[in-house]
Amino acid sequence: MRLGIIDYQFPRGGVERFIEGVLNNLPEDEIDICVFSSDYAMEGYRDLVKKVDRPIRLIEHKPLVHRVAAQIGKETTFAWVQNFEVPRDHWKEIDLAWFPAVQRHVIRRDCLARTVATFHDANLVEFGDYMAERRDPVGRVGQLYLMALDDFMTRRLMGSLAKVVVDAARTRDYLAQSYGPLPREPDVVYPSTKHVLEIEPAPVDRLDLPARYMMYPANISPHKNHEALLIALAKVKAEAPQHFLPLVLSGSSTLGIALGGEYRADRLQSLAARLGLEIGTDLHLLGTVSNGQYRAALGRATALVFPTLAEGYGFPPVEAAMLGVPVACSDIDVMKENLDRLAIPAVWFDARSVDDMARALAELGRDADRLKRQAVAAAAQIRDESWNDVGRRYREIFRQQAEFAAFQERYGAAS
């Protein structure tokens, strides 16, 4: 089978790990793989193929890029949003196209039968209004445009002959409820988290981590809920200082909270200052770190805190649990689903309640020893699937969809 991967955004973090895990476990003798991409995303794939143990051809192919501009007075400013219209000629020399992160890609109707599209979440639609409200004026326009276009593309996909795959039953159920009745139900394929055990810890001396800390690895997109976390952290510092744990933030743009210069980072920097949280003492900002540094910092953490309002899967709590690190997590449906199915204990809290989040943060500091013993015992019992299992599931989905598309084309030609 000739499989073409089409991706013009290449999201870093969990999605990057997902793509690597799948590609490393697709049989070379059955599936020939090429990647259609360009610019920043192509750079990501050039780095990725160095870590994949199989040949992959990289094809520079530019899509039609849609951007959003907002005019304020006489000044026109482009928003951060880009969407990609994928030409039909991508399908000319392949049997099947796979979009490993389909959001932001506009696919022609006549190409959908030969397409497998992976949804990692539905946040752009479900939480688009919330995220728009927390951006600068131009970013707000872009976020609302992105929500509208993603809703359009999702509606087209869910009503088509394309095969849709999701990371959790919660995402499948949301798509069915919002866009149903569906001609074909999405398949749920849970990612693996076992890779965290295979990462070699790297030295983290230069990160200047405190002796005890809780860690939150995430970008600073609004749905990651950093504002509420900072307020809850300040509440514990003021009201229960004996249980206070410093907070370590890693991930894209977190270093910007100290450096400033971007709307979201400036907003969080100002909030931390107003709350009396001292950067370098109460709040440690790492920015983007290597896999080895992430593994080492996470493994040394007193606890992981995960106050997100929305996720498609949520790697960090499962990764922390694999390492025997206690977890405090927002009690949203998808996190309940993924931690419960692996019997991972957690300190649950309502992510929309600062008081409840502060209660959970204080518990992490107060009961650290008990929670650590519980986490270590649970880690020995986690039975997650391997990336080989995930690759096998995707291989079967690709095979079935390629046969389905071939049948549809023969049937159409005959009629």
Closest Cα to residue 327, out of 217, 219, 242? 217
The percent of residues above 90 in pLDDT, for the chain, comes to 75
Domain ranges in the chain?
A: 2-192+386-414, 195-379
**In the structure encoding, which two tokens stand for residue 134, read together?**
């927390």
Cβ(326)–Cβ(372) below 8 Å: yes
**CATH T-level assignment (fold) for domain 2-192+386-414:** Rossmann fold (3.40.50)
| From 157-161, 296-300, 349-353, the region with the lowest mean pLDDT | 157-161
User: Residue 243: pLDDT band by 50, 70, 90 thresholds?
Assistant: very high
**In the structure encoding, which two tokens stand for residue 62, read together?**
């530019």
Residue in the structure block whose two tokens are 């099947």: 96
Q: Could you tell me whether strands 75-86 and 64-72 are parallel, antiparallel, or unpaired per DSSP bridges?
A: antiparallel
Return the number of other C-beta atoms located less than 10 Å from residue 237's C-beta. Answer: 20
pTM: 0.90
Report the pLDDT averaged over residues 247-252.
94
Residue 6 phi/psi, 5-degree rounding, is -115, 120
For 92-120, write each residue's pLDDT tens digit. Answer: 989 999 999 999 999 999 999 999 999 99
User: Given a cut of 80, is residue 327 above it in pLDDT?
Assistant: yes
pLDDT value of residue 414? 41
Residue 159 phi/psi, 5-degree rounding, is -100, 15
CA distance 351 to 306: 9
CA distance 323 to 380: 9
The set of residues, in sequence order, having a beta carbon less than 8 Å from that of 262 and lying 6+ positions away, is 253, 256
- Counting Cα atoms < 13 Å in the Cβ hemisphere of 111 gives 24
Cβ(296)–Cβ(204) below 8 Å: yes
Report the pLDDT averaged over residues 205-225.
95
pLDDT value of residue 412? 63
User: Residue 227: pLDDT band by 50, 70, 90 thresholds?
Assistant: very high
User: How far apart, in Å, do the first and last CA atoms of the chain sit?
Assistant: 26
Mapped onto helix, strand or coil, the DSSP state of residue 190 is coil
Total count of residues recorded for the chain: 415
User: Given a cut of 60, is residue 247 above it in pLDDT?
Assistant: yes
Closest Cα to residue 242, out of 212, 283, 216? 212
For 45-89, write each residue's pLDDT tens digit. Answer: 999 999 898 899 999 998 988 887 777 777 777 777 788 999 999
181 preceded by a cis bond (ω within 30 of 0): yes
For 253-284, write each residue's pLDDT tens digit. Answer: 899 999 988 889 999 999 999 999 999 999 99
Which CATH superfamily is 195-379 part of? Glycogen Phosphorylase B; (3.40.50.2000)
pLDDT value of residue 222? 93
List C-alpha distances in Å: 273 to 134, 226, 276, 282: 19, 14, 5, 11
Cβ(68)–Cβ(78) below 8 Å: yes
CA distance 370 to 375: 9
pLDDT value of residue 415? 35
